Amino acid sequence: MPPRIKKQTTATKRGRPARRVVAVDLFCGAGGKTRGFLQAGLEVVAGVDIDPTCRFPYVANNAPAKFVQKSVSDLTCEEVARWYPKGAIRVLIGCTPCQPFSRYSYRYGAADKERRSLDKRWGLLHAFRSLVDGLLPDIVTVENVPQMALMGHSVYAQFIENLHRLEYHVSSSIVRCADYGVPQTRERLVLLASRLGPIDLIAPTHPEGSHETVRGVIGHLPRISAGGPPPTDDALHRACSLSPLNLRRIRATPEGGGWHDWPAELRLDCHSRETGKTYPSVYGRMRWDGLAPTLTTQCFGLGNGRFGHPEQERAISLREAALLQTFPSDYRFVEKDGDFTFKHIGKHIGNAVPVRIGEVIALSIKEHLRQQAAGGRAAPKGRKRSC
């Protein structure tokens, strides 16, 4: 069980008791954002997600934060308000599912039924906006794919307009996650908004030349074989089995290489067509001294991207994927005797906000509160909370 985190408070002022800083994590998933906040020393009292399989990893790793299984669209302002202690500085985290905004979902031609399902999830940002309207949390943060801002989605523009209407100071940036210690090429949109005063993300902690690498993060793990048992008591350090043909393919792939390096007889038919050339990374290997690609929910599969181990004849293990997402090495995703499926655990790992990005957001909030305490600024006296 991870150590309990001290409750974070702002600095005392003129002898008055310090205020607790308390967050609620909506769309919490397996707890990546919450874990990051806890590592930064900020208190999280609850995580909300509609997926019941998130309960175990969320609670097992982030107690005493509670897990609430519910759609955010069904939450009421009054319900969420009860989770915040009286007088606390309220932080609301709202990282809505990224699929509706992802370029991948539309670039590769989602079927009509699937696309309608994606479009319905756009409404989750509206549901989050409604909670902001009623709660008026002191600080709001959103993390999503860059396309949410870059592609001009009206639902995002309306969300920003509403924050300004409610007198929030808003900043947003497209973050290169490697610049903050995440060993991936991943980029994400991070929005911070505060009613207390101007707020910004802290400066990069890992500038060019000091990025974490694949070797530095997973190079210490013991060797395993595709489809073999884990060599230790860590059930997550196992890799998917490979067919004889795919074993030949991974053996023909050099470090950092891909299907372009194979002899003709190993290539798929699609690789000879123009459309196949737009997938240069499938069946690829990572580089030891480079960054991993953006990890997805299918990152355990060799044919789903550049997810081959740099030198071993296999795709990366689930534990390696979790480490590349900056989860602690002892983070648990399933109960000891619980059902173990690559698809189930891969979904939790790939969908997660990297823990380090959650930590950086929390550190940015702490720095913001330090500046506000030093300057003695107060929240706007305009609109009041309705709950």
Q: Is residue 241 part of a domain?
A: no
Overall domain count for the chain: 1
Mean pLDDT of 25-37: 97
Report yes or no: 288 and 313 within 8 Å, Cβ to Cβ: no
Residue 292 lies in a domain: no
Q: Is residue 251 part of a domain?
A: no
Chain centre distance of CA 102: 14
pLDDT in tens, 190-221: 999 999 999 999 999 999 999 999 999 999 99
| 246 within domain boundaries | no
pLDDT bracket for residue 146 (50, 70, 90): confident
Position 133 in a domain: yes
Q: Which helix (H) or strand (E) holds 251?
A: helix 244-251
- Which CA distances in Å does 254 have to 224, 227, 285, 286? 18, 21, 7, 9
- The answer to whether residue 329 is domain-embedded is no
Calculate mean pLDDT across residues 337-349.
Answer: 89
Residue 131 pLDDT grade (very low, low, confident, very high; cuts 50, 70, 90): very high
- The burial class, CB within 10 Å (0-12 / 13-18 / 19+), for 21 is buried
How far, CA to CA in Å, does 28 sit from each of 91, 101, 160, 351? 14, 18, 22, 10
Burial of residue 131 (number of CB atoms within 10 Å: 0-12, 13-18, 19+)? buried
Is 54 labeled as catalytic in the residue annotation? no
- pLDDT of residue 382 exceeding 90: no
Enclosing domain of residue 202: 21-209+354-373
Question: What pTM, to 2 d.p., does this model score?
Answer: 0.89
Rounded Cα gap, residues 356 and 181, in angstroms: 7
The residue with greater pLDDT, 156 or 66, is 66
> Model confidence over 277-288: pLDDT tens digits?
556 778 999 999
Q: Which of 78, 95, 118, 114 is nearest to 29 (CA)?
A: 95
Higher pLDDT residue, 299 or 383? 299
The active-site residue, picked from 28, 54, 95, 98, is: 98
Report the percent of the chain where pLDDT is more than 70: 83
At residue 242, does pLDDT exceed 80?
A: yes
Nearest-angstrom CA–CA distance, 125 and 156: 8
Kindly tell me if the per-residue pLDDT of 161 is higher than 70: yes
Q: Identify the three-state secondary structure at position 162.
A: helix
The answer as to whether 342 is a domain residue is no
CATH number of the domain to which 87 belongs: 3.40.50.150
How many Cβ atoms are within 10 Å of 325's Cβ, its own excluded? 29
Name the β-bridge partners of 92. 24, 140
Residue 199 and residue 378: Cα distance in Å, rounded?
A: 14
What pLDDT does 117 receive? Answer: 44
Least trusted range by pLDDT, from 78-82, 217-221, 287-291, 383-387: 383-387
Q: Is residue 101 included in any domain, yes or no?
A: yes
Q: What is the reported pLDDT for 108? A: 41
Burial of 11 per CB tally in 10 Å (0-12, 13-18, 19+): exposed
Name residues whose C-beta falls within 8 Å of residue 219's C-beta, 6 or more positions apart in sequence: 288
Closest CA to 131 of 163, 101, 155, 157: 163
Least confident of 61-65, 104-108, 129-133, 154-158: 104-108
The torsion of the CA quartet 50, 52, 58, 59, rounded to 10 degrees, works out to 120
> Looking at residue 8, what is its pLDDT?
57
